[in-house]
Chains A and B, each alone.
Chain A
Amino acid sequence: MIIKKRKFTGGYTFKNFKGVPSDKFINLNIPEKVIIPLKQGFGNEVNATVKKGDSVTAGQIIGINDESISSPVHSTVNGTVEDIKKIEYSGKLINIVVIKSDGTPDFKPGGAETSGWKDLPEEKLEEVLYMAGVTSLGKSGIPTRYKSSAILPDEVEHIIIDGVQSDIYNLSLSLLFAGEGLNQFMEGIDVLKSIMPRASVHIAVNKYQKEIIKKIDESADNREINIYPLDPKYPQSYDEIIIPTILKREFPFGFKALNMGVIVLDIQAVLHVYEAAVLKKPLIERIIALTGPGFTENIHIKARIGTQLDYLIKNRVRPDTPLRYILNSPLWGDTVSDLSLPVDRTISCISSLIEDREGEAFSFARPGISKDSYSKTFVANYFPFKKTIDTNTHGEERACIFCNYCQDVCPSGLIPHLLYHYIERDIIDDILLRYRIFNCIDCNLCSYVCPSKINPAMYIKQGREKLIGMGIDQKESVLKRFKLKGVDENVKTGIKSK
């Protein structure tokens, strides 16, 4: 069933940019060495089950912890364990397993069962998914009875699959659905549905991909699936925005989608579920897009998890200019300075932008054929010229003039410049709570549009951290108003004792 005309207020549509990945797709050769972090994504770190010198096969579990919320981690190549050591990875000190590969591409299928997934009992199917590692996908995982997530599968009411493509760079939907992709996707949904029988399935798709919407609708057959063609307006894909848009329910800011009984997955995650359940293939490789003007070619690459970034992007970057590499979207992703780090399960794009310290002469007076702007003052706002991005701030920092752009684009209904004025003067108290500082979802749009080149998102983040340091947050009032699931007991008792 196609449900139209759902939208949210605020936001900004990024369209017509250079560096959007084409449908070209290559399989990366098996790298000589992979680095597998034992914490990937939201879960806790797992314990290594291999030692230095062990020989491992691709698909073999090398890290597992059944006691805490986590999913197993696999070796993604055949070879030997070279080292296990602690390094700093995405801001935390965690263990990594370094595996030297022998270059063979085959992998060990998980599970001994030869029967199809439909014949498996629920418990077995959950085990298959858990052991394949796919339960770690999404912002808070796919629930199973193996502690892969904070709630149980029965508590899931809605599964939302997000193909809105609201970010500036996205994986190509037509590529993911090419060939058998769409049928596999549908079967993946069937798998999810059979472990979460109470859940209804919602698919959100970029509304300009009319062909794909039609195909999804046709192949949905008599499955009960709601399809929502949505405007690809950033940050539609954020849990905090997509859930109110689709389910028309208020979001308990400060908690996760999961606590509402909703899980949000992207399309690739569903395809991984299919692979795990039907092909018995553990989560060892991913499709990653090389995006942004820094690459000579913007393509999709299927690479083993743990592949080092420099191996992945080798010979594909512009050699003539300094570049900045960003994991995932340039709107919210982190900079990577060390290219020997690996790609993990959470990465779907690597963006590279030109580090532009040069500036442009009289840039404010130019017509702007390839410049993007929220204000409609550049030629590129009116003609379909491809726009380009770089890391220059395109202007000096100035005082806030209350132009209201940040308020207009804020998808959570905040007034970012108001919060900025308080935090900049170091007035950190309950008043920020009243102005809903904790409803900020870190989409960074306010910093994107600011003509005074202030970074309100950064100030809001600082203010929130300071407030939490002072023991002030809005969890208590949110807990009172919502019936939430899987909320940590520590959080509840912590609030009561206050």
Chain B
Amino acid sequence: MKNLKERYEKLYKIKSLMRFKTIISTLEGIIFGTSEITAGAPHFVDNMDIKRYMSIAIIALIPSAAAAVYFFRLHAVELIIVSYISGGIAEVLFALIRKRDIEEGFLVTGLIFPLILPPSTPLWVASAGIIFGVIFGKELFGGTGRNIFNPALVGRLFVTISFPQIMTSSWQLPFVDTVTAATPLGLFKTAHVLTPYIKLLLGTSAGSMGETFRIGVIIGGLFLMFTRVSNWRIPFSYIGAVLLLSWLGNFFLPEKIAPPLFQLLSGGLLFGAMFMATDPVTSPYTLTGKLIFGFFAGIVTVLIRAFSGYSEGVMFSIVMMNGFTPLIDSFVISLKYRPLRNER
């Protein structure tokens, strides 16, 4: 291993490769681990790093991704590959310009994005979406850690608005190539039909690729919370708010607002609450802020589902609350830290 590393380090001496130094050093970090040591106290640090953090998020997405591949076969695989390649190119280009290591966060974005697309999305649309998401959702703000909006959702929003025909009307059912159907939420909106819960749980209803197999989404989300990669507060308050408001709403306006359990198990609510609202960068970091964030996202979701032209509101609600994140944080912090008496 040591030998290999020495050989690898010779790459740094090749002048023509210096333009791609960031790629070389990123790969070195992945393959050989770091040779950095702690500078002082604490003399030893936690073994967790961002690579593992993101790997855990990817592992949590595996049930959803596997279900997508199982339901939609080759096209799902193609979408995932296209998303990784085209988004990856955008990411690497920015890393080269910035002369910094490639950030691992993209690996999660690149997998989440295809999972929230309708199964029949053409590859070129997916490619355009992820590139837009990476550039306008993340890199223009300064890269991972500085972005305001969830990059995968920015990409999804872009394709939804740019290609409405493709994105909202053609929902393909699992295992069959040609038949298209409305999503359960669409069915409720137009025909007031409630899809059976078992169908919703197992994923045999129409919907985005990764969101329909809800048992897998729940397992993955719980795994994330259990490993402390995501915080339970946001899914808890998000789903709680949806259940509460739809229970109240269904009581008064049963025509417009679907019953709580149906709201919970349809559309992208579980997927969004477990994997996208919990994105640490774009959600509040204060603990109370997380509860506020989830609560309002839940309310917005129910309102959009009931009263807007779209049948699904998870994406809009999370992006909207992403925008409110800095405000929520500074509000909570100003309450938490009262000024000291001698402060000038």
Which residues of A are in contact with B by a Cβ distance under 8 Å? 324, 326, 330-335, 351, 353, 355-365, 368, 371-378, 389-405, 407, 415, 417-418, 430, 433-436, 444-445, 447-453, 455, 457-458, 474, 476-477, 480-481
Report yes or no: B333 in contact with A415, Cβ–Cβ below 8 A.
yes
B145:A392 contact, CB within 8 angstroms:
no
Tell me whether A377 and B40 are in contact (CB under 8 A): no
Whether A393 and B41, one on each chain, are in contact in the complex, defined by CB atoms closer than 8 angstroms, is: no
CB nearest to B340 among chain A residues: A477
Q: Is the CB of A450 within 8 A of B35?
A: no
Does the CB pair B49–A395 fall under 8 Å?
A: yes
B342 close to A (CB within 8 Å): yes
Q: Are B32 and A359 touching (Cβ within 8 A)?
A: yes
Chain A: minimal CB distance from B314 (Å): 22
Chain A positions within 8 Å of B56 at CB level: 375, 377
- Measured CB to CB, the closest approach of chain A to B338, in angstroms, equals 8
Question: Residue B45 contacts which of A334, A396, A453 (CB distance < 8 angstroms)?
Answer: A453
Whether the pair A444, B41 counts as a contact (CB closer than 8 A) is yes
Q: Of the candidates A375, A391, A401, which one forms a contact with B281 in the assembled complex, judged by CB atoms under 8 Å apart? A: A401
- Do B343 and A434 have beta carbons less than 8 Å apart? yes
Could you say which interface size class chain B belongs to?
A: 35 or more
In Å, the complex CA distance between A139 and B125 comes to: 66
Contact B50 A398 (CB under 8 A): yes
**14 pairs from A and B in contact (CB 8 Å cutoff):** A331-B41, A355-B37, A365-B55, A375-B56, A376-B226, A376-B228, A377-B52, A377-B229, A395-B34, A396-B29, A401-B281, A434-B340, A452-B50, A474-B342
**Cross-chain contact A396 with B226 (CB below 8 angstroms):** no
Residues of A within 8 A of B146 (CB): 399
Whether the Cβ atoms of B343 and A331 lie closer than 8 Å is no
Instruction: Assess the A396–B101 pair: CB atoms within 8 A.
Output: yes
- Give Cα A448 to B285, complex, Å: 19
Q: In the bound complex, how far is the Cα of B46 from the Cα of A342, in angstroms?
A: 31
The answer to whether B281 and A394 touch across the interface, beta carbons within 8 angstroms, is no
- How far, in angstroms, from A173 to B216 measured CA to CA in the complex? 48
Alpha-carbon gap, A351 to B341, bound state (A): 43
Residues in A whose Cβ lies below 8 Å from that of B97: none
In contact, A361 and B285 (Cβ under 8 angstroms): no
Kindly state the separation between the CA atoms of A444 and B45 in the bound complex, as whole angstroms: 10
| Separation of A435 and B329 alpha carbons in the complex (Å) | 13
Q: In the bound complex, what is the Cα–Cα distance between A430 and B343 (angstroms)?
A: 7
Chain B residue nearest to A478 (CB atoms) is B340
With A390-B44, A453-B45 as given contacts, are A376 and B280 in contact (CB-CB < 8 Å)? no
Complex-state Cα separation, A481 to B36, whole angstroms: 45
A396 CB contacts on chain B under 8 angstroms? 29, 34, 36, 49-50, 101
| B47 near A368: Cβ-Cβ < 8 Å | yes
Task: Say whether B35 contacts A357, CB under 8 Å.
Answer: yes
